[in-house]
Amino acid sequence: MRPDINLSAHETVATFGTYAEAQRAVDRLSDQRFPVEHTMIVGVDLRLVERVLGRLTYLRAAGMGAASGAWFGLLIGLFLGIFTPGRLFLTLALWGLLWGAVAGAVFGLIAHAMSGGKRDFLSADALVAERYNLLVAAPHAAEARRLLNIELPQQVRQQI
């Protein structure tokens, strides 16, 4: 079943500065037995924020590759160890870890060298909204406002 994402069939009940505040509002509605399947939290004025964490050097590229390769090698070693008898289990796991780290370091170096210095920095990106609107399906909007104790603006109240 595909969720209803028709925004025009919903009314904005409240606006929050953070996603956590919007979640708390939905949780309050849920605690009061409101049918929360008629609600949506919509991020408005989205921005992609990329935070630069530092330089990506050959040493760091090799280290990161070794770390991810070690995990993969350990997984393969453990998987193969399941099907072998006796003490060979631990030996296979350790060899997998070692060879995974070596292969990961080599691949990390190669990948960094092939980038040609076009992106020699590490970063973390996040999608950030300016504000978060709590939308509720039109037939349930008044009840949601009542449960959240949200006052309608003066000009809206006069129109009703």
- When pLDDT is cut at 50, 70 and 90, the band that residue 71 belongs to is very high
Beta strands in 4-98 (DSSP E): 10-16, 39-55
- When pLDDT is cut at 50, 70 and 90, the band that residue 87 belongs to is confident
**What pTM was computed for the model?**
0.60
Closest CA to 61 of 98, 105, 101, 12: 105
CA distances from 11 to 138, 142, 153 (A): 6, 9, 14
* pLDDT for the residue numbered 82: 86
Q: How far apart are CA 5 and CA 96, in angstroms?
A: 47
* pLDDT for the residue numbered 156: 41
Q: Show the tokens assigned to 58.
A: 């050959």
Displacement of CA 90 from its chain's centroid (Å): 35
- When pLDDT is cut at 50, 70 and 90, the band that residue 3 belongs to is low
- Domain 7-50+127-159 classification at class level: alpha beta
Would you list the domain boundaries of the chain?
Answer: 7-50+127-159, 57-119
